[in-house]
Amino acid sequence: MLYVDGMNGLISHNETVQWLYTLVGSKFRLVVKTSLKLLLVFVEYTESNAALLIKAVNTVDTKGGKKLWSNVMEILEEKDGVDTELLVFAMTLINKVRKYSFNYY
């Protein structure tokens, strides 16, 4: 995802962004961590990508009949094994999307 051609391909293919967001809801910690990191790189690549992530989240969670951002919220609400690294990545993603999306909404 760090290559320009790959990032431009990702920007033009929202289904892949939806898939990455879906992986945030995985039960496997490493999958969740990697997905969050990749989504952070995606959002930080250009500010307009925040709107694309919001669109992907809306699509995935609406189809699943869930509240918006439910996959990320489950990480933040987890009470059992508190994984501070996942909490930091989840909050950073939310803050970046919030920061960049103010320019578009």
> Containing domain of residue 39, as a range?
4-101
Question: What are the pLDDT digits (tens) for 36-53?
Answer: 999 999 999 999 999 999
pLDDT for the residue numbered 100: 85
The total number of structural domains that make up the chain: 1
How many other CB atoms sit within 10 Å of the CB of residue 57? 23
For residue 75, which of 24, 23, 17 has the smallest C-alpha distance?
24
Rounded to the nearest 5 degrees, what angle is found at the Cα of 79, between the Cα atoms of 68 and 39?
40
Which segments in the chain show pLDDT lower than 50? 1, 105
